[in-house]
Amino acid sequence: MTQEHSATVPDWSREAITRFWDPAPKLLRSIRRYQSCKQRGTLGFLASRYWALNHRFWSVITQCEIHLNTQIGGGLLLIHPNGIVIHPDAKIGANCLIFQQVTLAGPVTLGGHVDLGAGAKILNGVTIGDHAEVGANAVVTKDLPPRAVAVGAPARIIGQR
């Protein structure tokens, strides 16, 4: 499989719950199960209420603000899920990596296999291409092409991946 193709194929093992206390994967599971149940009939609606409560619990534990209807590609990895804020209209591609204190403000689009460093801020309407990296505490105000490495506030491209 080519590296370009691997950006779109989710690696679901990245979201596996491996321990009893594994807050990030449990938060993601609650979002995914909520979205799945919401598409079903009356019983699905009732189950979605349970998963909404489950999501609320894990949101408080992790101090994350990820809306239940956010489009999240498979294989999302939240290393330290504290303080992550993701706008409901954001779109996250497959196999992304997000560290603590990251903010996706507005309808941001992340391509596949994007890595966001701790404290990164991606502002309204920005699109980040596949396999891009954003450094810690960077403030991205403009679109980033695929494979770009960006750092600083405001972020500037310093190389290619």
Q: pLDDT of 84-125, one tens digit each?
A: 999 999 999 999 999 999 999 999 999 999 999 999 999 988
pLDDT at 101: 96
Token pair in block for residue 155: 């972020």
Widest pairwise Cα distance in the chain = 52
* Average pLDDT across the chain, whole number: 92
DSSP annotation of 138: -
Residue 1 has pLDDT above 60, yes or no: no
Whole-angstrom CA distances from 70 to 93, 95, 153 are 11, 15, 26
pTM of the model: 0.89
The whole-number pLDDT of residue 6 equals 57
Q: What is the pLDDT of residue 77?
A: 94
